[in-house]
Amino acid sequence: MRRDIEFRTEDGVTLRGWHYKAKGVDGPAPTVVMAHGFTATREIYLDSFAEVFSAAGLGVIVYDHRNFGVSDGSPRGHADPWAQINGYRDAITWAQTQSDVDPNRIGVWGSSYAGGHVLVVAALDRRVKCVVSQVPLTWGFETARRLIRGDHWAGLRAAFDGDRAARARGEAGAMMPVTAPEGQPCALPTADTYEFFIRFAEEHETNWKNEVTLHSIEMFTEYEPATYIARIAPTPLMVVVASGDHLTPFDMTARAYEQALEPKKLVVLPGGHFEAYTGEPFKISSAAQRDWFKQNL
């Protein structure tokens, strides 16, 4: 059973989502706080994970980041990683006020861009008692240099500078597609990104929009969540990687995992970045994550 929820961030933005009740639990339950990756919204398979966790006796709070989906915030389509990190912490604060949440047994879950966020949240916020980071962004600059052709880099840097100047003049920031057919400019230039988002939008009702601020991409290149990973301990950490991932590359995530201290666990899935959300990789991953949360919350 789930209900619609909303809560306010410390700076006054209303975030909205769902609260799944822990099945079979009367009274305060261990609870997992979840949000999605770069521009993605809650209905893009997060309900599948939440249902697995809820059925196992875990409460789940799923919400959209500010500026996306059903949450408020402007400019729309702006993905500020630090504002999203603070959103997680505001969600934890709200959760601790709820009568059916055990305030001392809070876990966090994030995937892709938010997989990086939960590394930072768990390192900084000791209210977090367990963390699962799925196919996470680890080093933003290195990831960007792998995704963006070398001969395009100087032009992108110039676009960042021009966009900054335009915003300083009071103009609206530039926008670009999140994904596009091969060869067309976009934020995430991989074929599997295009297939995943466009197919989902064609087959489901969704609040996802194929647009993101250029400033978001600049912030992506400056964001280095893996630098926090050694500070997570002694909070239990699970990292889920996909062996064929080239959006958040396997070798980079594995390198970050090596820097984490115990207790920790690595789960390696077959396939690429987006297979983690569906099919057999989802069954493997969601079961391992469920058990990790149950063990540690």
Domains of the chain (ranges; CATH) run 2-143+224-296 (3.40.50.1820)
**Residue 194 · residue 180 · CB < 8 Å:** yes
d(CA 126, CA 106): 10
State residue 73's pLDDT score.
Answer: 98
Phi-psi region for residue 50, left (φ > 0), alpha (ψ -120 to 50) or beta? alpha
Instruction: Copy the structure tokens of residue 187.
Output: 């934020």
Q: Are strands 128-134 and 212-213 parallel, antiparallel or unpaired?
A: unpaired
Q: What is the CA radius of gyration of the chain?
A: 18
**Residue 264 · residue 122 · CB < 8 Å:** no
State residue 82's pLDDT score.
Answer: 98
Whether the link from the prior residue into 103 is cis, omega within 30° of 0, is: no
State residue 63's pLDDT score.
Answer: 98
d(CA 248, CA 53): 25
Q: Which positions of the chain have pLDDT values less than 70?
A: none
- The residue with tokens 């400033």 is 215
Q: Is 149 helix (H, G, I), strand (E, B) or coil?
A: coil
Q: Are strands 237-242 and 264-269 parallel, antiparallel or unpaired?
A: parallel
How far is CA 90 from its chain centroid?
15
d(CA 207, CA 218): 24
State residue 118's pLDDT score.
Answer: 99
Q: Is 155 helix (H, G, I), strand (E, B) or coil?
A: helix
d(CA 117, CA 122): 9
> In the chain, where do the E strands start and end?
2-8, 14-20, 29-35, 59-63, 101-111, 128-134, 175-176, 212-213, 237-242, 264-269
